[in-house]
């Protein structure tokens, strides 16, 4: 069975649209998300447009700040400092990747924690890893929502994550642990990867290699969540060999059309959460 991220996103966004109307009635304003885009990377521009459309769809105010790729790190931090201090800005997202001369860690560390809609500041990450309240990274949060939407049992199951990035691999492992799964993290140095993936009740792959996970690597009846995307002959393709796995597994997400839409929907949820935290003086 397919876990359709687009369909689930539409359903959640309709609920968010109603919530935004209620927020506007109560607070006489709506959450305001500012996206900072540095340079002209085509993929980044595409992602930003999708986020702008999603904000408009549910009624979140969004502002795009476009900066030249030649901007200095210091000047970028000054821009972010202004946004950090602006009470009319409730969420800040710096679109990644950044130009090579700008430190991603420095920029993320500089963001006001209460406005960190990506859930990537050290405070949010550390709280996530210690299973305390935090703004959750968007993609892992979306994955958990997808699993729960199909009432897929997580507690007591063996979850295997392929990939150990700070954006997906590590935080999804933590969220699965929080749901009481037993979690294995694998990566490029893992020996006999298939021996581990074949044990998985829930298998999450975020490596970005087309059809990397074959039928032979997955046990029958498993749940497969495809995070990776790569382009083959001009066509986007996921990590899983989807066609050969569809009738072999219990559930599988499409890529594209699975985790991607849910990542943006989680961003909308996080923006609302940041707004409400600020209005109710909830400090992370």
To the query of whether residue 104 is one of the catalytic residues in this protein, the response is no
Angle between helices 5-27 and 42-58 (to 10 degrees): 60
To the query of whether residue 95 is one of the catalytic residues in this protein, the response is yes
Out of 51, 115, 170, 254, pick the active-site residue.
Answer: 51
To the query of whether residue 19 is one of the catalytic residues in this protein, the response is no
Out of 19, 78, 86, 95, pick the active-site residue.
Answer: 95
Dihedral, 152, 154, 155, 159 alpha carbons, nearest 10: 150
Burial of 80 (0-12, 13-18, 19+ CB in 10 A): buried
Integer Cα distance of 103 and 101 in angstroms: 7
Out of 116, 118, 201, 226, pick the active-site residue.
Answer: 118
Integer Cα distance of 3 and 186 in angstroms: 23
Q: Are the CB atoms for 259 and 227 separated by under 8 Å?
A: yes
Among candidates 241, 239, 199, which has minimal Cα distance to 222? 199
Residues with a known catalytic role: 51, 95, 118
């Amino acid at each position: 069975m397919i876990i359709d991220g687009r369909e689930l996103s539409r359903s959640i966004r309709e609920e968010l649209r109603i919530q935004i109307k209620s927020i506007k009635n109560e607070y006489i304003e709506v959450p305001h998300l500012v996206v900072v885009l540095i340079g002209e990377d085509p993929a980044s521009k595409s992602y930003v447009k999708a986020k702008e459309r999603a904000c408009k769809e549910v009624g979140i105010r969004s502002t795009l700040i476009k900066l030249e790729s030649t901007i200095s790190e210091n000047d970028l931090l000054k821009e972010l400092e202004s946004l950090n201090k602006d009470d009319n800005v409730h969420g800040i997202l710096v679109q990644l990747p950044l130009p090579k001369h700008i430190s991603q860690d420095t920029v993320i560390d500089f963001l006001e924690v209460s406005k960190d809609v990506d859930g990537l500041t050290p405070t949010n990450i550390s709280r996530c890893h210690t299973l305390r309240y935090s703004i959750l990274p968007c993609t892992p949060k979306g994955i958990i929502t997808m699993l729960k939407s199909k009432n897929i049992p997580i507690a007591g199951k063996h979850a295997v994550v392929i990939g150990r990035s700070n954006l997906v691999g590590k935080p999804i492992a933590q969220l699965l642990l929080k749901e009481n799964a037993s979690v294995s993290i694998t990566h490029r140095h893992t020996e006999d990867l298939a021996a581990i993936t074949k044990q998985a009740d829930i298998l999450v792959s975020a490596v970005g290699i087309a059809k990397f996970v074959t039928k032979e690597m997955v046990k029958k009846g498993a749940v497969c969540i495809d995070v990776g995307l790569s382009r083959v002959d001009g066509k986007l393709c996921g990590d899983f060999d989807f066609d050969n796995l569809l009738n072999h597994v219990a559930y599988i997400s499409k890529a594209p059309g699975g985790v991607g839409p849910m990542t943006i929907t989680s961003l909308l949820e996080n923006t609302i959460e940041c707004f409400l935290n600020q209005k109710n003086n909830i400090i992370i």
